[in-house]
Amino acid sequence: MKKLLFLLTLAIISVATATSQEVVPPRKPYPTISGMPGYVTINELHGAYGLRDTSAPKSHYIYGFTTVHSYFINSDFTVGGGTGASFYDDGFLLPLFLDVRYNFIHGRYVGFLFGNGGFLFDFNDINSGTRLFVNAGPGVRYATSSTLAYNLSTGLLIQMGESSRNSFINLKLGITFKPKK
């Protein structure tokens, strides 16, 4: 009888130990921004450093901020428009642009490609100081909740004016906010 009780106790302990080794998934899934269609705003600080010849005006460095008001078409694409302020080594330009983002990884960390382009308005000389620009590159977004995420991206910025073309390597750090419905 003692042997039977000992074997039964040993079997219960063995089963309990073996089943406790399973990895139990967390009850609460990690946060991610909702991929459902809807409004989203992206606010970013940006900085850029001029490449190649930086002797022309507004070609050495840039810093500033932008705000983009977008629409999630689906979990992969956002499309929107933006504006902000860009401070150059030799003045100030106001950007007005279209922004497109493609998300290719989904989860807490979201990899994305962005592309934006539009006008850089120079209010000191609207006719010959206004420029066109294109900016594209990769980035990553880190979600802290279903409505808030932080994003970091880098890219190549090219701007073209009446008499010059300048290129920059840039870095953007921002917040993405998607209100609840």
DSSP letters spanning 132-168: EEEEEEEEEEEESSSSEEEEEEEEEEEEE-SS-EEEE
Bridge partners of 71, per DSSP, are: 39, 79
pLDDT over 90 (residue 21)? no
What per-residue confidence (pLDDT) applies to 180? 83
C-alpha R_g of the chain: 26
- Identify the band that residue 27 occupies on the pLDDT scale cut at 50, 70 and 90: low
What angle is formed at CA 110 by the lines to CA 46 and CA 142, rounded to 5 degrees? Answer: 65
> Tokens 């983002």 correspond to what residue?
101
97-118 per-residue burial string, b: 16 or more CB within 10 A, e: under 16: bebbbebeeeeeebebebebbb
Residues 45-102: tens digit of each pLDDT? 999 998 877 777 777 889 999 999 999 898 889 999 999 999 988 889 999 999 999 9
Q: Within 13 Å of residue 30, how many CA atoms lie on the same side as its CB? A: 9
In whole angstroms, what is the distance from residue 12 CA to residue 9 CA?
5
CATH code linked to domain 38-177: 2.40.160.20
Q: How far is CA 122 from CA 101, 127, 176, in A?
A: 27, 8, 28
What distance lies between CA 45 and its chain's CA centroid? 11
Predicted local distance difference test score (pLDDT) of residue 26:
58
